[in-house]
Structure 1
Amino acid sequence: MTNVKANRTVRRGRLFPEIQWSEEKKAQWRAERAAFRKRCKVIFDRLKPELIDPHYNWYMAVEPDSGEYFIDKDDMAATKMCRQKHPTAIPYLFRINNTGACGSI
């Protein structure tokens, strides 16, 4: 039996360099994300005082176009509930606590 060596070429760098975003496109994307978060934060701030005691450290998925929100102990479950009702919408996830942040650094 002969030994056959695989002759593979190693790819370096990005696979599709033409997909790189310009600085203007990155800035536009950041501005759109900030505006989206701001719309969701208004809903979260309005509901936080009544939800913080019974649901502390639960997750809240907000869909800002309809104003609906979904609460669950699990972050994926809250997102899934929102996706079932609004399949094309992207929800924003908050944690029901003093800051609304979902993670820690």
Structure 2
Amino acid sequence: MTETKLNSSIRRGRIFPEIQWTEAQKKEWKSERQAFAQRCKLIFEQVQPQLIKNHYNWYIAVEPDSGEYFLDRDAILAAQKAHEKYPNLRLHVFCLNNTGVCGAI
């Protein structure tokens, strides 16, 4: 009796099909992202002058709906603190310096 040999083929390429968005959907997604970032930036600009004195180059994770923010020397830890309290909400992370961003291009 002969054994049947299972041929396992290697899948190449993407596992999931690409998402096909219309131009209108792309514009809507981009405008939603910009509006969210702007809401976070308003809170950042309010607290930045007070916090920059003692926490220069620290990171601040902002949750715009509650207005709360979380500080840490590490960006990932600041985001983790925010996600512990608000696990399913989006947030934005800034650097506490004059520009709100880190590094240079």
TM-score if structure 2 supplies the norm length? 0.83
Question: CA 1:61–1:7 in 2, change beyond 3 Å: closer, same or farther?
Answer: closer
How many correspondences in the alignment? 98
The residue type paired with residue 96 of structure 2 is I
Question: CA 1:65–1:31 in 2, change beyond 3 Å: closer, same or farther?
Answer: same
SS of structure 1 residue aligned to 2:93: strand
Unaligned runs of 5+ in 2: 1-7
Structure 1 segments, 4+ long, off by >2 Å, are 6-11, 102-105
Sequence identity (%) = 47
The residue type paired with residue 46 of structure 2 is R
2:17 is matched with which residue? 16
How far did residue 53 of structure 1 move? 1.4
1:88 to 2:88 alignment: yes
SS of structure 1 residue aligned to 2:61: strand
The residue type paired with residue 22 of structure 1 is T
The CA distance in 2 between the partners of 1:15 and 1:103, in whole Å, is 34
Aligned-CA RMSD value: 2.0
The residue type paired with residue 93 of structure 2 is L
1:3 is matched with which residue? none
Could you give the per-residue CA deviations for residues 19-66 of structure 1, whole angstroms, max 9, x where no partner exists? 221111111011001100111111000000001111111100000011
1:43 is matched with which residue? 43
The residue type paired with residue 35 of structure 1 is A
The residue type paired with residue 23 of structure 1 is E
Q: How do residues 1-105 of structure 1 correspond to structure 2 at under 5 angstroms? A: 11=13, 16-17=17-18, 19-105=19-105
SS of structure 2 residue aligned to 1:70: strand
